[in-house]
Structure 1
Amino acid sequence: MHIGIFTDSYLPYTSGVVRSIVTFSRELRALGHRVVIFAPAYGHHGTEKDIYRFRSLRAPTFKEFALAIPVAPGLTNTLRQLGIDLIHVHSPFLMGQLGVRMARRLGLPLVATYHTLYEEYIHYFPLAPGLLRRVVRNYTLSFYNGCRLVITPTDTIARYLQENGLKVPVVSIPTGIELERFQDVDTGWLRRHLQLPREEIILLHVGRLGKEKNISFVLQAFAKIHGEVPATRLVLVGSGPLKGELEHQAHSLGIAQAVTFAGSFSFEQMPAVYAGADLFVFASVTETQGLVVGEAKAAGLPVVAVRARGVQEMVEDGRDGFLVPLDIETFSARIRQLVLDAGLRKEMGRQGRLNASSLAAATMARRLADQYQELLG
């Protein structure tokens, strides 16, 4: 098969969406399929095989992100020459709309992945939030109802879309994890890199420093833990607009000296980042999957997470971690339990590594390829 992927974000920008596209593309190519990606330009990229870049503008409030200008005279002929059999879009916006137009023009099956609960991000546009939430939800549902097939990362999100009016077929296929990346990892690298004492128990959080990740909640819970167990440290991996505000909160809570804002790491470094911690904490309630939770498990970390739509399918409560309500006392109590019980941490981490094997990237790619074949059949 020749698959055309249209996306509003791609490398060198990093996100869960980008990680999903990169992982599925690599595995689909390994299965013998051709994948051609149509994405924004982020500057000069040199020669890239099977990647077509579109001129773009930097997002005014988030300079790392580029907004593609979805104008491409001759794209229809390019797609014909490439022999594209099917178009898969990863956003309902600029490049996604271009993918829709190309699919209709060429009579190709159109697949879309629902990566993001867009209505949960309206805090970036505070004007009339109730109305805006309805507008965004109606727009996205209308877009996805125009596709032949919708892919969601979890069953929970599939049900959510159906309950809100999705009429077309929907299939749950999580983004897979490249399990081989988490084998034979240097577990001491993170402490050396950040110059952290050996005796500290490291709580790790990976995610954008934005309001939707609910990191303020994590800081409040960690303040309770650190007050009782001083040899603990919270390491926050990621960048984002809330960094200054979160640093101020850490100072206000009296835990600034025990919170490390580590910034971002390369894709190659991330397995060592996970493996260098003792447990993973996550409080986002806006995830469609929570890929970082699966990666933490693949690295052998137990997880404490707020029970929310996508994440709840990534943790086996009581076996490889704990799922808790959005309550600071309960969240901190479960973290405290793991901090104080090294045996439990080890056992849950072992179980998490075993459970993560069910999300092998090659397996997920074969499931996606089967869906493509069914549409083309």
Structure 2
Amino acid sequence: MKIAFFSDSYRPYTSGVVISLETFKKELTALGHNIHLFVPSYPNYRDKEENIFRFKAFPAPTNPDFTIALPLSRRAKSVIRSFQPDIIHVHSPFMLGKLGASYARQLNVPLVFTFHTLYEEYVHYVPLAPKIAKNTTRYFCRNFCNKCDLIIVPTTEIGNYLKGLGVTIPVKKVPTGLNMEEFTQIKTNGSWLRKSYDLGAEEKVLLFVGRLGQEKNLPFLLHAYKEVQEEFPLTSLVLVGGGPEEKNLKYLAKQLGIASKLVFTGALPKEKVIECYYAADLFVFASVTETQGLVLPEAKAAGLPIIALSAYGVKEMVVDGEDGFLITPRLNREKETIAEFAAKIKLVLGQDELRNILCKQAKINAAQYSIRNCALSLEEGYKLAQEIKIKKMSGT
């Protein structure tokens, strides 16, 4: 098949959406499909891969690392018509997603949309009243979804969320998979992280990987770590990733008296991120806005147990009591939730036998997210979208 991907973000920007695009493009190409990307441009960045059309774009006011594409290009229209896609797969309901949907109507081809993000949880980046912004976002997402032929969701929980919004078209679950060879064939004991940041062999490492944004709920993590550090002083918290909240988090760490025990690595290349997974003793995750949380199966692939808040897609990524522990957030009782979260971390750090059992099962459970299996499932989704389109055209 010839498949056109439209996305409002791509390299050099780093996010779960970008990783998903890269991962599926590579695997679908290996399966014999032809993928063409339509994405924003970024200053001073040149592509090394082929079949990419870049739209002119400008830096987002609230996040300069992210660029906003201008979906106006005569050449883009010529490129998409010349490509003659069998499927148009959009990865955002906004700028370039809307353009992709328009092209799908013009070319009369199936429109597939992956619901990567709980957009209503990101309205803090929009200069509007939060309640109005959330309601507007829900309305917009529902309408966009119902104009597609098929919606792809990474977890069943997100499929249920969309149905609750009033989405009526077919939904198919296809998580973003992992290249398991990146984890099974790597030869490392995690020494790079410990040497680079002067972490002793006896130091226990709690690891977070992700963007340092408000939606990741990182102040919660710092407060929980403070409680852990009081009982386990030979413990460090390593935050891998960059983002707009880094300065605020460093300030909070000073206020809590834990700044000397925190490590901010900034954004790292994939091979160094994997090194960090293998150096850590436990993966900690407090986000309550994830549709999947790609870092969770990655952590499990490296044999890391996970302590996480139970919300949306995370519920399906962690098997409570088997490869980690899930803590249910207590509404308006955050201190109690923090205490419970910290208690689970201390439980695992204090019991080597328990941690070893969790580690072993984490690796076993990660295998279900093989990228080949996920790509084959997405391929089935494309065939389903074609069948749905044919039925719509025939009026059946």
Instruction: Provide TM-score, normalisation by structure 1.
Output: 0.97
- The residue number in structure 1 matching 2:40 is 40
Once the two structures are superposed, the pairs formed by residues 176-187 of structure 1 within 5 Å of their partners are: 176-183=177-184, 184-187=186-189
In structure 1, distance between residues paired with 2:53 and 2:129: 38
What are the equivalent positions in structure 2 for 1:284-299 lying under 5 Å apart?
284-299=287-302
Query: Quick one: which of 203, 208, 212 aligns to 1:209?
Result: 212
Q: Secondary structure at the match of 2:270?
A: coil
Secondary structure of 1:260's counterpart equals strand
Q: Distance in 1 between matches of 2:81 and 2:137?
A: 33
Measure how far apart 1:232 and its partner are.
0.3
CA offset digits 1:124-170 (Å, max 9, x no partner): 33642112211111011111111000001100000010011001111
Whole-angstrom distance in 2 between the partners of 1:361 and 1:47: 23
Q: Aligned-pair distance for 1:13?
A: 0.8
Distance 1:101 1:264 in 2: 35
> Which of 283, 308, 325 in structure 1 is aligned with 2:286?
283
Aligned residues: percent identity? 46
Answer whether contact 2:240 2:273 (CA < 8 A) is retained.
no
- What are the within-5 Å matches in structure 2 for residues 291-370 of structure 1? 291-326=294-329, 327-370=337-380
2:228 to 225, 235, 240: 225
Cross-structure match for 1:112: 113
Q: Distance in 2 between matches of 1:89 and 1:185?
A: 37
Q: Distance in 2 between matches of 1:5 and 1:77?
A: 16
For the pair 1:25 / 2:25, whether they are aligned, the reply is yes
* Cα distance per residue 1:269-316 (max 9 Å; x no partner): 221111111110001000000111110001110000000011010001
1:200-257 deviation line (CA, Å, top 9, x unaligned) = 0000011111111011001001001101110000001111111111111111111111
Alpha-carbon distance between aligned partners in 1 of 2:386 and 2:113, rounded to the nearest angstrom: 15
**Unaligned residue ranges in structure 2 (runs of 5+):** 330-336, 388-396
Checking the alignment, whether the CA contact within 8 Å between 2:53 and 2:76 is kept in structure 1 is no
Question: Any idea what SS the aligned residue of 2:109 has?
Answer: coil
Q: Cα offset for 1:47?
A: 5.5
The Cα shift of 1:375 comes to: 2.5
Give 1:95's aligned residue. Answer: 96
The corresponding residue for 2:76 is: 75
CA deviation map 1:30-61 (0-9, x unaligned): 10001110111113415631111111111122
Match of 2:272 among 251, 269, 274: 269
Q: CA RMSD in A?
A: 1.2
What is the TM-score normalised by the length of structure 2?
A: 0.93
Tell me the distance in 2 between the aligned counterparts of 1:250 and 1:46.
Answer: 38
Q: Distance in 1 between matches of 2:220 and 2:127?
A: 21
What is the CA–CA distance in structure 2 between the aligned matches of 1:123 and 1:38, rounded to whole Å?
27
Distance in 2 (alpha carbons) for counterparts of 1:14 and 1:220: 26
Q: How many matched pairs?
A: 377
Structure 1 position 376, deviation (Å): 2.6
* AA matched with 2:188: D
> For the Cα contact (< 8 Å) 1:185–1:275, is it kept in 2?
no
1:79 Cα offset (Å): 2.0
**SS of the counterpart of 1:355?**
helix
Once residues 31 and 48 of structure 2 are traced to their aligned partners in structure 1, the CA distance between those partners, rounded to angstroms, is 24
Asked if the contact 2:62–2:125 (Cα under 8 Å) also holds between the matched residues in 1, the reply is no
Q: 2:164 — aligned with what?
A: 163
2:260 is the alignment partner of 1:240: no
Displacement of 1:372 in angstroms is: 0.8
| Number of the residue aligned with 1:138 | 139
1:10 paired residue number: 10
Partner Cα separation in structure 1 for residue 195 and residue 142 of structure 2: 47
- In 1, the alpha carbon distance for the partners of 2:51 and 2:75 equals 17
- Write the letter of the residue equivalent to 2:49: E
Distance 1:56 1:27 in 2: 28
* Partner Cα separation in structure 1 for residue 254 and residue 135 of structure 2: 37
Q: Report the alpha carbon displacement of residue 120 of structure 1 after superposing the two structures with TM.
A: 0.8
Higher deviation after alignment, 355-364 or 70-79: 70-79
Tell me how far apart the structure 1 counterparts of residues 75 and 350 of structure 2 sit (CA, whole Å): 63
Query: Which residue matches 1:197?
Result: 200
For 1:153, the equivalent position in structure 2 comes to 154
Q: Write the distance in 1 (CA, Å) between the matches of 2:267 and 2:366.
A: 23
Aligned counterparts of 1:282 and 1:316: Cα–Cα separation in 2: 14
Question: Using a 3 Å threshold, how does the CA distance of structure 1 residues 256 and 47 change in structure 2: closer, same or farther?
Answer: closer
